[in-house]
């Protein structure tokens, strides 16, 4: 029997995409839900079921035939997931162990920062520090000295932060961190069955939906990401009026740009480019919106691409890819700016959703595969 199915996310759920699927496996509708929100979907049968696409990339199928009012909570789906590791990781572990461990970190208690220091030593594996525009930001060590953590005040109007990891090989990892970050974890672990050290980083912001979108974009999960366009539309004040969180606004604009939803973008990206001078991403988004909508406006496109390059590396790797592609289209002066950008970026880690670069210190051996790097937004599931 057909009818209306109501789906509600419990307060403990992260923002995620839900597919409503009919018994013959046809997708009826995709919806995005934030914690505490609900959606109503017309279904052809009471036997329709749900697929929940979690920020971590896991997909959970929920079947409850006959129930037309579904409440989804972490407690109800946790038994269907490979559980996060609640205990401390062993001295040697696998990359999958580390990813499972991180799935529980965003629910960790608030840190006590009274004993915070600026340069944190990750055992013998290397050292790590976080810098803002005013200088180093103190953090604390945990996990038997293998993990550094930072608890940050909410300040989305500040310039991007830079996380630097100096590895034992002499290589240096530099990661652009959005200024709206609230928690950061960086750790080093010896990999079981591999002669390598895994350097991993997780970033959480208070714009959890934007974090989820960024993860979907990085994985190329556009089916899930597309359902979040209503959130972008609801949040237009971020770009048009209040400028409350330019980083979340940039993520939303990257999504709309990737989906070619130009009619939803209006001139928001131009506002972001002009009003937030510390963020190259706004210039990149506006330039590419013009490339798609006004390709004859070469002067304006050139202006914003060069402005982006002059502001430094974008925060998001999506922006770095678009910036290098755009400069390549500009001819000789664009090529010069692109060469300078690539030279300053070092070896780019394209698997990271945030711009991440590796550098070899002068006088050291060339970079080798002795280190693994795992960078993502923190996930609550």
Per-residue 3-state assignment (H helix, E strand, C coil) for 234-286: HCCHHHHCCCCCHHHHHHHHHHHHHCCCHHHHCCHHHHHHHHCCCCHHHHHHH
DSSP state of 89: P
Q: Do the strands 3-9 and 69-72 form a parallel or antiparallel pair, or are they unpaired?
A: parallel
pTM for the model = 0.86
- Listed as ranges, residues in the chain with pLDDT below 50 are 238-242
Residue at token pair 């928690």: 183
The whole-number pLDDT of residue 366 equals 54
Q: What is the CATH number of the domain that holds 50?
A: 2.60.40.1120
Residues 364 and 340 in one domain: no
8 Å CB contact between 240 and 271: yes
DSSP state of 241: T
Number of CB atoms found within 10 A of residue 286's CB: 28
The answer as to whether 235 is a domain residue is yes
The answer as to whether 52 is a domain residue is yes
Could you tell me the end-to-end alpha-carbon distance of the chain, in angstroms, rounded to an integer?
A: 33
Residues 201 and 274 in one domain: no
The answer as to whether 198 is a domain residue is yes
Token couple for 263: 């009619």
The answer as to whether 87 is a domain residue is no
Q: Among candidates 192, 188, 194, 172, which has minimal Cα distance to 125?
A: 188
Q: How many domains does the chain have?
A: 3
The answer as to whether 306 is a domain residue is yes
8 Å CB contact between 94 and 193: yes
Residues 237 and 343 in one domain: yes
The answer as to whether 63 is a domain residue is yes
Residues 167 and 104 in one domain: yes
Angle between helix axes 298-310 and 280-293 (nearest 10 degrees) is: 160
Residue at token pair 């960078």: 375
8 Å CB contact between 251 and 80: no
- Distance, CA of 222 to CA of 230 (rounded, Å): 14
Q: Among candidates 357, 365, 361, 329, which has minimal Cα distance to 341?
A: 357
Domain that holds residue 68: 3-80
Residues 260 and 336 in one domain: yes
- Distance, CA of 51 to CA of 241 (rounded, Å): 36
The answer as to whether 86 is a domain residue is no
The whole-number pLDDT of residue 109 equals 63
The whole-number pLDDT of residue 1 equals 76
Report the Cα 172 to chain-centroid distance in Å.
21
Task: Tell the burial category of 95 from Cβ atoms under 10 Å away from its Cβ (0-12, 13-18, 19+).
Answer: middle
Instruction: Please write the tens of the pLDDT for every residue from 122-160.
Output: 999 999 999 999 999 999 998 889 999 999 998 999 999
The whole-number pLDDT of residue 225 equals 78
Residues 101 and 135 in one domain: yes
Task: Based on DSSP, count helices (H) and strands (E) in the chain, helices before strands.
Answer: 13, 20
Q: Which residues contact 340 (CB under 8 A, 6 or more apart)?
A: 309
The whole-number pLDDT of residue 91 equals 83
């Amino acid at each position: 029997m057909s009818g209306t199915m109501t789906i509600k996310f419990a307060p403990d759920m992260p923002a995620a995409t839900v597919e409503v699927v009919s018994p013959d496996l046809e997708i009826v509708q995709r919806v995005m839900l934030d914690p505490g929100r609900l959606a109503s979907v017309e279904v052809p049968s009471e036997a329709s079921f749900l697929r929940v696409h979690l920020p971590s990339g896991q997909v959970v199928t929920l079947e409850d035939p006959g129930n037309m009012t579904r409440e989804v909570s972490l407690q109800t789906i946790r038994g269907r997931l490979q559980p996060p590791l609640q205990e401390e990781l062993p001295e040697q572990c696998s990359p999958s162990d580390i990813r499972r461990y991180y799935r529980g970190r965003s629910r960790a208690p608030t840190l006590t920062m009274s004993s915070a220091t600026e340069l944190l030593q990750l055992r013998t594996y290397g050292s790590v520090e976080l810098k803002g525009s005013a200088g180093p930001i103190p953090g604390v060590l945990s996990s038997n000295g293998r993990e550094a953590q930072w608890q940050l005040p909410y300040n989305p109007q500040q310039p991007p932060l830079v996380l630097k990891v100096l590895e034992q090989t002499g290589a240096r990892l530099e990661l652009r961190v959005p200024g709206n970050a609230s928690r950061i974890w960086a750790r080093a672990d010896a990999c079981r069955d591999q002669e390598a050290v895994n350097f991993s980083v997780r970033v959480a912001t208070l714009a959890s939906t934007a974090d989820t979108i960024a993860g979907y974009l990085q994985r190329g999960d556009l089916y899930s990401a597309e359902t979040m366009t209503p959130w972008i539309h609801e949040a237009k004040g971020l770009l048009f009026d209040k400028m409350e969180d330019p980083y979340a606004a940039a993520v939303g604009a990257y999504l709309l740009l990737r989906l070619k939803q130009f009619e939803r973008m209006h001139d928001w990206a131009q506002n972001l480019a002009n009003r937030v001078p510390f963020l190259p991403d706004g210039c990149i988004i506006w330039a590419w919106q013009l490339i798609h909508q006004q390709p004859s406006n070469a002067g304006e496109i050139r202006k914003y691409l060069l402005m982006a390059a002059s502001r430094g590396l974008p925060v998001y790797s999506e922006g770095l890819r678009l910036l290098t592609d755009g400069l390549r289209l500009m001819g000789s002066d664009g090529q010069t700016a692109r060469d300078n950008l690539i030279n300053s970026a070092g070896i780019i880690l394209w698997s990271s959703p945030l711009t991440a670069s590796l550098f070899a210190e002068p006088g050291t051996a060339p970079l080798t595969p002795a280190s693994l790097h795992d960078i993502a937004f923190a996930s609550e599931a």
